[in-house]
Structure 1
Amino acid sequence: MAGIVIYAKSKPPETLFDHTKAVVDNSLSLLNAYGKRLKDSWPESLADLNSLMRIVAAYHDLGKNYTPFQNVLRKSINIDPLAVSSLDPHIPHSFLSAAFFLADASDLEIEDQCLKALLTRAIAFHHHRDIMERLLDPDNELLKEVIKEDIQPNYERLDFMKELGIILNKPGFKGIKRILTGTWDSYWESVVRNNPEYQRAYILLSGFLMKADHSASAHLPTEFEPLANTKDSVLKYLAGKKIDVSSLWQLEALDSIRERNVILIASTGMGKTELALLWNGDAKLFYTLPLRTSVNAMFSRMLSVFGDDGRIGLLHSTASAYLLEEIEKGGKQDAEIVGLMDRARQLSLPLSVSTADQLFTSTFKYPGYEKVYATLSYSNIVIDELQAYNPEIAAAILWGLKEVTELGSRFCLMTATLPGFYMDFVKDNLPDLVIEKRFLQVSKHRIELVRKNINDSCDSIIDSWREKGRVLVVVNTVKQAQKLYEELKIRLDNESEDNLMLLHSGFILRDRSLKENKLLDDNNPFTGIVVSTQVVEASLDIDFPVLFTEIAPADSLVQRMGRVERRIREGKLNLENPNVYVFWSDETSGVGSVYEKSLVSGTGELLENYSGRLLSEEDKQEIVNTLYYSDNAKKVKEKFEKAIEMLKLGILKAKNRDDAQRLFRDISSVECIPLAVYEKEEDVILQLVERVESSKERIPRLRAATELQGYTLSVKRSRVPDSKIVKLIGSTVVINIPYDASTGIQYEKEESPFV
């Protein structure tokens, strides 16, 4: 059998020896680069991490010697098959690789049964295939047949493993099913999975193997060179903003928070981001935010701080669309953008800006989650604006933080407001915690609680606009925003076209982007009335002199207030009149659907004590804390605690990553094109679909997919009855629900499909 080439990949062709060596090298380079931090999280009672990592890396793909698998690759490479075989080519090679390891375990001095099971499973499940469950059925003999008829007769084709210091024994079937399924699986659950040290070891070994394997397959480094001189970069950036860096509060706080877990509660505009970067230093960092718009803005900000050398990543579901704009602006080449996307997806960059779902869907333990957890074990994480998530999602994030800090990760949780029961969970469950509170010593908001429907105050809104030049109006539902917009449009008459904007997430991406770009244009700032929903709470860096808002829970109101006089950080405002008007009536939208009734009524009762008064930053914290420690927050707290308990028991477990995304978002949504848009742009849309399906080049395919995405919006599945679905284009549905570019999608009933 000497001289037979065994392949691992076909595009481009790569031998199994070369790929295996690359995975071994990647594994060891990762451990060398982050050895000290990894050593702290590796169980002392187990064998050396490096030696075990080398074993799983060396054995992980030996099952690719399977003849039918080799014939598939050789056909793709356009060379002759090894031999004719009638065996099923879809047998997972990772299961066959596990058989090789079990045959050699004693020679490798792996005698402990739990450790043997741990290594076997790390190898067997480094890829997930749907066929696995069927193969492990006690009555299914296919795996045994394959090992007996093909793996055993041909194992000497892997003689090249001697060059990696491994002499293979003939693999057998004995023990493999026992370790991977049935009664042994319950042994695994009761002894290994419930032993924190073995559980930690399994996650790290399995995750590092996946990471090393994926990077070798992509021909990328497992980790790119860390950023250096972070402190200098941050201070230079701030100095460029004309900020005095000689007495920064962030530097004062640094000694007490460095290399610890941090909760930072600070006023909007205090410089939380700069503190997070200084806290992180030159460590690997994932910076998470709730919404893609804010992630894009933070990505651009990080480029301004550190420069653009391809080591800052962008991670969210439409990141390619944002990055492709860089090509259009002429600043990047196609290959650069493709490379950046690949590096970000491999989690291999020293700084990645991300939506939280890109990391914390792993809390639901979908197959392959170990790669994310293992990467986070030697990384720092920033969680910005936790209060923007619903309690179930917040539970997933905080439970995920608990688990990855046990592996070695550190976090900085930053917010302007934090419900008390979130704080209590972190205090009780996450170690080495320091809480830092910083508030602006300026009162920027005088509020007035108005006990009537906001729709009855159109004249006051217009009068305020004429006086102040810009007015922000925030309501709780899309339908209410549309209704108020139409009423203001009638009142303004000819003035409405240039001075009135409606913004919510019920617009197709193209229309919403046009509105947001107009609103954020510093060179030609929008001067008018903006009617919006919660999308402005955390996603847009906007500043208005006055706010009219429907009542909402206190933490949401504080976020909305953060869009008023946002850039004033010191001094004294002349606020004889209110600049925040909070409307509370029986007709307030979204009460009971978007927000818990008890939270809204509790907030109203608290605000009655502050109406007409200046609100300090400490006042805002007191209102939020009082609300969430009261009985008014009971239902929300129960949702959070129930989600935590289900995560703890392993009930919230995902079948795959898409399923985890659905669990994380707590929503089953579909990508839709409104019929009115489709009919107007049908030719263009169909051409784009054809380009997506037929283009062999990656960038043209991404361009077409990104442009097609511009005609879509994400809609809660319950809002799209089958009777409203006109046709299916790929995974996108055309829906017969009214849509207008100025007002967005229009539903018959009020619900909460968007934020």
Structure 2
Amino acid sequence: MFLAKSNGETLQEHVEKCLQVFQSLYEKYPDLLTEVEWDLLRQAVIAHDLGKINPLFQKLMKKGNLSEKEWDQWIPHGQLSPAMIKKDARKDEIEQIILVCAIYYHHDRPEKDRNIVREYIRNILQDEWETIKFPCDFLTKKLRTAYYSYQVQKLDELKDDEILRYILIKGCLNRIDYCASAGRLEIEASSFINGKDVAQCTENFMEKQGYARREMQTYLMQHEGENLIVTASTGSGKTEGALLWMKDSKGFYTLPLKVSINSIWRRIHENMGYKPAVLLHSDAKGFYLTQASDQDKYETARLFAAPLTITTIDQLFQFVYKVNGAEAAASALATARLVIDEIQMYEPELVAIILYGLKMLTQMGGKYLIITATFPKILYKVFEEHTIPYQCAPKSYYGDVTKRHWMKLIKDEFPIEEIVRQAETKRVLLLCNTVNYAIELYQQLQEYTDRVGLLHSRFIRKDRKKLEQEILDFAPNDPNRKENHGIWISTQIVEASLNIDFDVLYTEMCSIDSLLQRMGRVYRNRWYDGNGEPNVYVMYGDAVKRRCANIIDPEIYTYTMDTVKAYDDMLLEESEQHDMKTEMIDCVYDPEKNKAIENSRYLKKIKAKWNDLAFMGMYQYNKKDKEAKIRDIRSDTVIPISIYNRLADDGTLEEWEKRAASMDGDAQEQRAKLHEEILSYTVAISRYYADGWQLEHCNLDTIWKHSDIKLCVNRYDEELGLIKGVDSADFIL
């Protein structure tokens, strides 16, 4: 009897479970693969774990440990399993390569020297294999020690369409294996709650709220499942429209920021009552660990098994880098409808990643909807050049409120005294391009008023969560909210993340897409006439430009500056008759109105990234390589020294160490909870701005091995966050 798992599950039992999951996939999506490909996948499912007959693997499963010498001899089972397959298991050479490579790479493990593998198969594994009788005509009696190495080497010689075929089949194998290992015999969780799918729950919600179906929502229902680009303003019912477009299909809904993802999830999960919706982002595991009744939801999300997943592109699109293991997301997207919300919020390299991914997933059978307030028209050239299928809605769609913002340009710094005066009766929001300037502005305003708050990215997670709730409570997007007044200062983190509604906005000049997003934080769904008084003030000048030089593309900044001057001191209309905001973004990104955009760094970055992805080989990078990260966020996770000392003084560090020491190897959930608790005291600081940060080794190894959390000697203040300056009192540990 050969074991497949340390819990006592046999190899035969695991294969039988995998075949049940395979059958559920076949019945759910019969058109996903051809009948020939389904047969190939079935063979891969049967053979993928046969290398586990390895005596060393069996000893590890039964005894739980190996000697140092035995670990030196260890060979990952995926690199042994192809030896059991006949040389002509598939008559077609490409199919044979796909079959062998899908099995060989079904886990992401370092490759062992192939000469060592061949010797091990010949001298050790053959004897074990002869004790097994598998009634499968594609398996060989005498193990093959050389031919499959040749086929593994040919993976990179496959043509683009063959690589896509491989990614889809390998991804299906991974999903089947992951589900069976997690004890799930159905590839997908049920999409119904009380007999209703997400589209039906959305319609019920709209009926209960007395919302009549809008023109855009009707269009999306009529074109459900088609590849669409739709522009729609705030208040037009974008979220509901996207859910109606999904109908009863598997869906993924992506947004740029985690905070906005959490907000959309709560709306769908709680307001609309669609409980099968799940969250998937870098903090989702910690979120579910705090929800006692929902802890298996994270597993469902991680396996891409939920009928609706609210997520970031980081969780889905790593397959564009051809990273081992990322094929599972690609195969899930091939069966799904994908929503990309607010594409204009992404940097050009991220736009290239998204568009390259859309090209791949549509070729595999997936569908997408880009739904956005503004769409950079230069991107149509990328769609057409690379034949990405798309259909534009016949028009842009608008909400009932068509006049919300009166914009005024100010060539100066923030007018402190005027801001304080307005804050005596109104909710005033100040948005800065840098954290340092936001802190400086906050300190200036404290000299005038105590009704001022500060939120930016350099607070530890616990404090940031608290501050996010405070700003939401201060300026909720709620027509029945109570009267309030005061000032909040923040950065671009609130552009599309928090559902807040202020009365007045003061912002530094930025790119046109960010500027329009920032306007959306005031008068979100309210009419504004202003009686001649603006409610959006935009600061510009040399000082502003200098502060954002490393943050905003200088060309886009210049195009934006040239554009907005024509709309200075005007009440902006956003209606079908006259859409001034679209006019502004077109003046920057539409080549018919701004020919310079065709030779801009913005477009050159998109093209360069696309070319990098197009010429990238399979498994050139692994998941840990920084080059294969979706977002190039090079940062360090740190604990401020004052926080660390406080945790040491009050016994928290000692308590963490005791908890870690008492956990056995199977205590994954307890360990995850401990890790999330530790992370709540950390903050991420960018390596791009390394000057001014003083980092030391953080002695957390006994609590969390390889956490890579560093100690930051810079001063931390609960009001200001992490600032560039050292508090000497905190040096002593």
TM-score, normalising length: structure 1: 0.86
Matching residue of 1:172? 144
Tell whether the 8 Å contact from 1:591 to 1:600 is kept in structure 2 after alignment: no
Distance 1:475 1:423, change over 3 A: farther
Matching residue of 2:170? 206
Tell whether the 8 Å contact from 1:361 to 1:661 is kept in structure 2 after alignment: no
Paired residue for 1:239, among 207, 219, 243?
A: 207
Tell whether the 8 Å contact from 2:348 to 2:603 is kept in structure 1 after alignment: yes
Distance 1:746 1:423, change over 3 A: farther
Distance 1:691 1:363, change over 3 A: farther
Tell whether the 8 Å contact from 1:362 to 1:660 is kept in structure 2 after alignment: no
- State yes or no: 1:440 paired with 2:406: no
Matching residue of 2:463? 511
One-letter amino acid matched to 1:170: K
Paired residue for 1:59, among 40, 47, 50?
A: 47
SS in structure 2 at match of 1:745: strand
- State yes or no: 1:551 paired with 2:509: yes
SS in structure 2 at match of 1:747: strand
Q: Deviations along 1:381-401, whole A, 9 cap, x unmatched?
A: 111122222111221122111
Tell whether the 8 Å contact from 1:519 to 1:525 is kept in structure 2 after alignment: no
- What's the offset of the Cα at 1:662? 6.2
- What's the offset of the Cα at 1:27? 1.5
| Distance in 2 (alpha carbons) for counterparts of 1:709 and 1:411 | 35
| Distance in 2 (alpha carbons) for counterparts of 1:722 and 1:446 | 39
Distance 1:277 1:87, change over 3 A: closer
Matching residue of 1:641? 607
| Distance in 2 (alpha carbons) for counterparts of 1:165 and 1:652 | 30
Matching residue of 1:8? 4
Tell whether the 8 Å contact from 2:253 to 2:338 is kept in structure 1 after alignment: yes
| Distance in 1 (alpha carbons) for counterparts of 2:660 and 2:628 | 25
- State yes or no: 1:314 paired with 2:275: no
Distance 1:389 1:590, change over 3 A: farther
Tell whether the 8 Å contact from 2:252 to 2:339 is kept in structure 1 after alignment: yes
Matching residue of 1:28? 23
Tell whether the 8 Å contact from 2:101 to 2:152 is kept in structure 1 after alignment: yes
Give unpaired runs (5+ residues) of structure 2: 701-706, 727-733
- What's the offset of the Cα at 1:681? 2.6
- What's the offset of the Cα at 1:150? 1.7
- What's the offset of the Cα at 1:694? 4.4
- State yes or no: 1:345 paired with 2:323: no
Identity across matched positions, percent:
29
C-alpha RMSD over aligned residues: 2.5
- What's the offset of the Cα at 1:654? 5.8
- What's the offset of the Cα at 1:717? 2.8
Distance 1:552 1:572, change over 3 A: closer
One-letter amino acid matched to 1:626: C
- What's the offset of the Cα at 1:270? 1.7
- State yes or no: 1:157 paired with 2:131: yes
Give unpaired runs (5+ residues) of structure 1: 750-755
| Distance in 2 (alpha carbons) for counterparts of 1:306 and 1:613 | 38
One-letter amino acid matched to 1:261: N
Matching residue of 1:716? 686
Name whichever of 208-217 and 604-613 sits farther off.
604-613
| Distance in 2 (alpha carbons) for counterparts of 1:595 and 1:702 | 37
Matching residue of 1:289? 255
Tell whether the 8 Å contact from 1:387 to 1:419 is kept in structure 2 after alignment: yes
Q: Deviations along 1:668-712, whole A, 9 cap, x unmatched?
A: 211111112222232324533553564343443333222211110
Tell whether the 8 Å contact from 2:172 to 2:331 is kept in structure 1 after alignment: yes
- What's the offset of the Cα at 1:195? 4.8
SS in structure 2 at match of 1:657: coil
Paired residue for 1:248, among 197, 214, 219?
A: 214
Paired residue for 1:400, among 351, 357, 366?
A: 357
One-letter amino acid matched to 2:202: V
Relative to total residues, which structure has the larger helix share, 1 or 2? 1
- What's the offset of the Cα at 1:420? 2.3
- What's the offset of the Cα at 1:723? 8.1
Distance 1:437 1:486, change over 3 A: same
- What's the offset of the Cα at 1:209? 0.7
- State yes or no: 1:360 paired with 2:317: yes
Paired residue for 1:303, among 257, 261, 269?
A: 269
| Distance in 1 (alpha carbons) for counterparts of 2:64 and 2:453 | 55
Which structure 2 residues correspond to residues 73-112 of structure 1 after superposition, within 5 A?
73-76=61-64, 89-101=73-85, 104-106=86-88, 108=89, 110-112=90-92
Distance 1:324 1:122, change over 3 A: closer
- State yes or no: 1:326 paired with 2:291: yes
Which structure 2 residues correspond to residues 654-665 of structure 1 after superposition, within 5 A?
655-659=621-625, 663-665=629-631
Distance 1:744 1:662, change over 3 A: farther
Distance 1:94 1:703, change over 3 A: closer
| Distance in 1 (alpha carbons) for counterparts of 2:631 and 2:549 | 19
Distance 1:24 1:307, change over 3 A: same
One-letter amino acid matched to 1:648: A
Tell whether the 8 Å contact from 2:221 to 2:244 is kept in structure 1 after alignment: no
Which structure 2 residues correspond to residues 598-677 of structure 1 after superposition, within 5 A?
598-617=555-574, 618-628=579-589, 629=591, 630=594, 633=597, 634-650=600-616, 655-659=621-625, 663-677=629-643
Distance 1:432 1:397, change over 3 A: closer
- What's the offset of the Cα at 1:721? 6.8
- What's the offset of the Cα at 1:430? 1.7
| Distance in 2 (alpha carbons) for counterparts of 1:489 and 1:572 | 30
SS in structure 2 at match of 1:646: helix
Distance 1:288 1:255, change over 3 A: closer
TM-score, normalising length: structure 2: 0.89
Q: How many residues align?
A: 690
Tell whether the 8 Å contact from 1:262 to 1:413 is kept in structure 2 after alignment: yes
Matching residue of 1:753? none
Matching residue of 1:560? 518
Tell whether the 8 Å contact from 1:367 to 1:657 is kept in structure 2 after alignment: yes
One-letter amino acid matched to 1:96: L
- State yes or no: 1:145 paired with 2:119: yes
Distance 1:314 1:746, change over 3 A: same
One-letter amino acid matched to 1:189: D
Matching residue of 1:747? 724
Q: Deviations along 1:529-566, whole A, 9 cap, x unmatched?
A: 01110011011000011111111111110000111110
Name whichever of 424-433 and 732-741 sits farther off.
424-433
One-letter amino acid matched to 1:519: I
Matching residue of 1:431? 389
Paired residue for 1:578, among 534, 549, 557?
A: 534
